Chains A and B, each alone.
Chain A
Amino acid sequence: MIGPSDFEFLRRFLKDKSGLALGDDKRYLLETRLDPVMKKASVTGITQLVATLRERGSSPLAEAVIEAMTTNESLFFRDKRPFDQLAALILPELISRRPPGQPLRIWCAAASTGQEPYSIAMLLRDNERLLGGRRVEIVATDLSGEVIERAQEGVYTQFEVQRGLPVHYLLKCFNQEGQMWRINADIRAMVRFSRLNLLQSFAHLGQFDIVFCRNVLIYFDAATKSDVLGRIANVMTRDGYLILGGAESVLGLSSELVPGSQHGFYIRKN
């Protein structure tokens, strides 16, 4: 059982380090997720864990705590519609506005285990004619080093490749390795993965035509959402698009971003 002061410390710790806003009803979740972390690190209980984190807030144990509390569920072509709209409307529009030869840049800001950036890469591969030889850079980042490693490896279970992935992509873009499926090297090479905490500066990533930041803001409080959205707006090109998750919006959180003509797509206010 987590005592009130330990819970308060962990809540503050997670908020400061990852932006995760933990409600009072999440005590059970905290216990369930931290139990394996404590066992692995031979920590005897929450009180000892908190004492260790108080002493050293940036240790491997601290990172393990943050990673354990991060939700990494992802699937290929999640929600389907944003990808359909990307291929049918957004890409043709942006390509028509860019001079030939200028690469398009796409950022997946919460890439998790890679399904989202790889879905974009497969979609682009399927629409090569639309790109007319134009280069597309896909930058994929996530808070968790562990999931980024998995994403880079590009190996998925049979269950994972069946959730949302049309079977023709499975045949075209994956190699079977026993019970697992590995994404083909040419698709993997289209995505550049790196670790990034959205609470820290991401200005070094450069400007992007399209930013996918789906299903991560829901874990933040209003002030953090507002801060992250403001900084995302700063790395978007003037006519760029931000794509949020189905349950997310910029409403009341951003003065720089407004809804675009497609649901879930946001543009910079002119």
Chain B
Amino acid sequence: MKTFLVVDDSSVVRKAARRMLETWSFKVEEAENGAVALDRCRQHMPDGILLDWNMPEVTGFEFLGLLRSEAGGAAPRVVFCSTHNDVAHIASALSAGADEYIMKPFDADILREKLVEVGLLEEEPL
């Protein structure tokens, strides 16, 4: 079973994302900021990470830099999921090592398409 870490300081977003991801048979863990997320990753590197930008303590952007320098930290597919809906932020996220970017608000269709794009989900059979 593939594992997924949802990192967001909003419990509502974490819950919604968890529901979607569990529908697609991911084992889901949650973290409310980048510091907690880094601890989780050190214990177990997930297959995918859904990552908010603005969070207390360690932001999503800072977390991504730290994650990518960890042993095994290059492996997780990271999908940023943020209210920063502009070209500059998207470009920064990709340069920092994000694999995809979701502009909030999002729904299950968008998340699904992004996970197909990063290879964590198979496209639906034709």
Residues of A within 8 A of B (CB): 75, 79-81, 158-159, 162-164, 166-168, 170-171, 176, 179, 246, 263-264
Rounded to whole angstroms, the CA-CA distance of A179 and B86 in the bound complex is: 9
- Which 3 residue pairs of A and B lie closest in terms of their CB atoms, listed nearest first? A246-B126, A167-B101, A162-B110
Q: Taking A158-B103, A166-B117, A170-B90 as contacts, is the C-beta distance between A80 and B123 under 8 angstroms?
A: yes
Nearest CB in chain B: distance from A123 CB, A: 14
Asked whether, in the complex, the Cβ of A81 is within 8 Å of the Cβ of B123, the reply is yes
Q: Give Cα A179–Cα B116 distance, bound, in whole angstroms.
A: 25
CA distance A81 to B126 in the complex (A): 9
User: Which residues on the B side are within 8 Å of A79 (C-beta)?
Assistant: 123, 126
Q: Is B87 touching A163 in the complex (CB atoms < 8 A)?
A: no
B110 touches A159 (CB 8 A): yes
CB distance from B117 to the nearest CB of A (A): 5
B91, A163: Cβ atoms closer than 8 Å: no
Give the Cβ gap from A87 to chain B, nearest Cβ, in Å: 15
Contacts of B94 in A (CB 8 A): 167-168, 171
B113 and A164 contact, CB distance less than 8 A: yes
When distances are taken between beta carbons in the complex, the residues of chain A under 8 Å from B32 are none
State whether the Cβ of B85 lies closer than 8 Å to any Cβ in chain A: yes
Query: How many angstroms between the C-alpha atoms of A162 and B114 in the bound complex?
Result: 8
Chain A, residue nearest B79 (CB) = A167
Q: Which residues of B contact A246 (CB under 8 A)?
A: 125-126
Counting CB contacts under 8 A, is B29 at the interface? no
Whole-angstrom distance between the alpha carbons of A168 and B94 in the complex? 9
Cβ A163 vs Cβ B123 within 8 A: no
CB distance from A117 to the nearest CB of B (A): 19
Q: Does B51 belong to the interface (CB within 8 Å)?
A: no
Contact A163 B126 (CB under 8 A): no
- B residues 91-117 near A (Cβ < 8 Å) are 91, 94, 100-103, 106-107, 109-110, 113-114, 116-117
Pick from A75, A166, A168, A176: contact of B87, CB below 8 A.
A176
Given contacts A167-B90, A171-B90, A171-B94, 20 further A-B contacts (CB under 8 A): A79-B123, A80-B123, A81-B126, A158-B85, A159-B107, A159-B110, A162-B102, A162-B103, A162-B106, A162-B114, A163-B109, A163-B110, A163-B113, A164-B113, A168-B94, A170-B90, A171-B87, A171-B91, A176-B87, A263-B126
